[in-house]
Chains A and B, each alone.
Chain A
Amino acid sequence: MDLEFNVQGGDFVRAGNASSQIKKVLKQLNADSAIIKRVVVALYEAEVNIAAHAYDGVIRANIDTERIRLLLDDNGPGIPDIERAMTPGYSTASSAVREMGFGAGMGLPNIRANADEFVITSEVGKGTHLEITVYLNQ
């Protein structure tokens, strides 16, 4: 099953919509609730990151009986130093993002913590690409 969602930068009204839809699909597929939580927490963190940092982005989800793979591509400023961005507590979020309860420098580490496989690549001035894989039967 393939699903696709668009995310707008700065849109904190709709941020979380894609994660919510994916959660409904995984529930319908009777996935384990602890695994669903790992998937949607990781995806929600990543979705909020697009809303917080990028101009826009696309979330693609591919679900089969074994695993869910989430591909997130944004058009945005990119991340100059990924290792630093992965450091808990490091953040470049705006005050608007912090007012929403985020921007504490915990998003990327929490995505990695919830994913079975996590790949992040980024090009400064172009955007960031994330691949999040979670196995559904482990």
Chain B
Amino acid sequence: MTMKISEIVQCLDAQVICGAEQLDKEVEYAFASDLMSDVLTVKKERMLLITGLANLQTLRTAEMSDIEVVLFVRNKAVTDEMLELARESGIVLIASPCTLFKVSGILYNHGLKPVY
């Protein structure tokens, strides 16, 4: 079971911040964490990162981990520097005002898999 980014956007009523041309990409796994140290230990490919930590190092972590799509929760602001880095690295950014728990529950119900 995989989900297209466009399906994730639709079922969460999320906002696409950048990477709108890549919404056909698919993910199989999701990992929800505000701790980048934990994200950096995950080996899975085709994984969505769900996080409430919005800073440049969130995007660096995604870049190093081959994470192609990041979902920011809890109404986090994305700075111009973050946007630039995401575009440079080809990372899709989407955002939801909901809590991490809520979006995780919805996406789990839609079949996205936990990494362990």
Contact = CB atoms under 8 A, between A and B. Distances in A.
A23 to B, nearest CB: 7
A80 B58 CA distance: 30
Contacts of A44: 40, 60-61, 64
Given A12-B57, A44-B60, A101 B37 contact: yes
A101 B35 contact: yes
**A contact patch SS:** helix
Interface string A30-43: 00011001001100
Interface string A13-57: 101100110010000000001100100110011001000000000
A6 to B, nearest CB: 17
B63 interface: yes
Given A33-B66, A37-B64, A102 B36 contact: yes
Interface in B31-73: 34-41, 43, 53, 55-58, 60-61, 63-66
Contact of B56 (A12, A33, A34): A12
Interface residues of A, number: 24
Given A12-B57, A101-B35, A110-B40, 11 more contacts: A16-B64, A19-B64, A23-B64, A41-B64, A48-B57, A100-B36, A101-B57, A102-B36, A104-B37, A104-B38, A113-B41
